[in-house]
Structure 1
Amino acid sequence: MSIADPRPYQPLHPHDHHIQDHCSREPDWLLQEVATPRINDEMFLLNLPAEMLLCIADSLDQARDLLALACLNQAANDLFLDYLYRFNVRHQRSDALFWGVRRGKSKFVKMMLDDYGADANTTDHRSRTPIFHAMRTKNETIIRTLLVDKRADINWQDQRRQTPLVYAIERNLLSTASLLLDFNPCLNITDIKNRSAIWYAIASCDENLVQVLLERGSDIRTPDYKQFSPLSLAIARKTPRITRLLLLHSDSNSRKTLLEDVTIRNRLLRQAVQASLHDVIALLIAHGADPNSRNRDGQRLLHQATKKGDRE
Structure 2
Amino acid sequence: MSLLGLPNELLLMIAEQMSSSKDINAMAQADRFTYALLNKYLYDQNIRKSGSSALLWAAKHGQLGTAQRLIKGGANIETYPGPLFQRPLHVAATYGNVEVAQLLVDHGAKITFLDGHFKTALHHAAENGHAAIVQMLLRHGHLLMEQTNHLVPETPLHQAAKYGHAEIVRLLLAAGCKVNVTKFGTGETALHLSLEHFKHQIRHKGKGKKISVKKRDARKAKTAVLLIEHGADVRALPRSNKTPLELAIRVSYVDVVRHLLKKGASPNVRVSIIYSNLPPSPTFPFSTYTPPTTTIMDLAKSCGNNEIIYLLHDAQNKMYATSRNTL
Scaled to the shorter chain, the TM-score interval is: 0.5 to 0.7
Q: Does 1:183 align with 2:163?
A: no
Corresponding residue number in structure 1 for 2:182: 222
Whether contact under 8 Å (2:112, 2:120) holds in the other structure is yes
TM-score (norm 1): 0.58
For residues 102 and 154 of structure 2, what CA distance do their matches in structure 1 show? 25
Corresponding residue number in structure 2 for 1:97: 55
Whether contact under 8 Å (2:85, 2:116) holds in the other structure is yes
SS in 1 for 2:115: coil
CA 1:58/1:105 → structure 2, altered by over 3 Å: closer, same or farther? closer
For residues 244 and 32 of structure 2, what CA distance do their matches in structure 1 show? 71
Whether contact under 8 Å (2:94, 2:121) holds in the other structure is no
> Larger Rg: 1 or 2?
1
TM-score (norm 2): 0.56
Corresponding residue number in structure 2 for 1:246: 231
For residues 89 and 172 of structure 2, what CA distance do their matches in structure 1 show? 21
Identify which of structures 1 and 2 has the higher relative contact order when contacts are C-alpha pairs closer than 8 Å and 6+ apart.
2
Report how many residues are paired: 245
Instruction: Give 1:197 shift.
Output: 0.7
Instruction: Give 1:94 shift.
Output: 0.6
For residues 207 and 40 of structure 1, what CA distance do their matches in structure 2 show? 60
For residues 293 and 75 of structure 1, what CA distance do their matches in structure 2 show? 77
CA offset digits 1:42-73 (Å, max 9, x no partner):
76x62x8x6x998x599868465876886798
Worse overlay, 226-235 or 118-127:
226-235
Q: Does 1:173 align with 2:130?
A: yes
Point out where structure 2 has 5 or more consecutive residues left out of the alignment.
Answer: 197-219, 250-256, 274-289, 301-308, 316-327
Instruction: Give 1:192 shift.
Output: 5.4
For residues 241 and 79 of structure 1, what CA distance do their matches in structure 2 show? 56
Whether contact under 8 Å (1:112, 1:118) holds in the other structure is yes
CA 1:78/1:296 → structure 2, altered by over 3 Å: closer, same or farther? closer
Instruction: Give 1:110 shift.
Output: 0.7
Corresponding residue number in structure 2 for 1:209: 168
CA 1:241/1:171 → structure 2, altered by over 3 Å: closer, same or farther? closer
Point out where structure 1 has 5 or more consecutive residues left out of the alignment.
Answer: 1-38, 248-257
Within-5 A mapping of 1:33-44: 39=1
Within-5 A mapping of 1:276-287: 277-284=257-264
Instruction: Give 1:158 shift.
Output: 2.5
Identity of aligned residues (%): 20
CA 1:67/1:283 → structure 2, altered by over 3 Å: closer, same or farther? closer
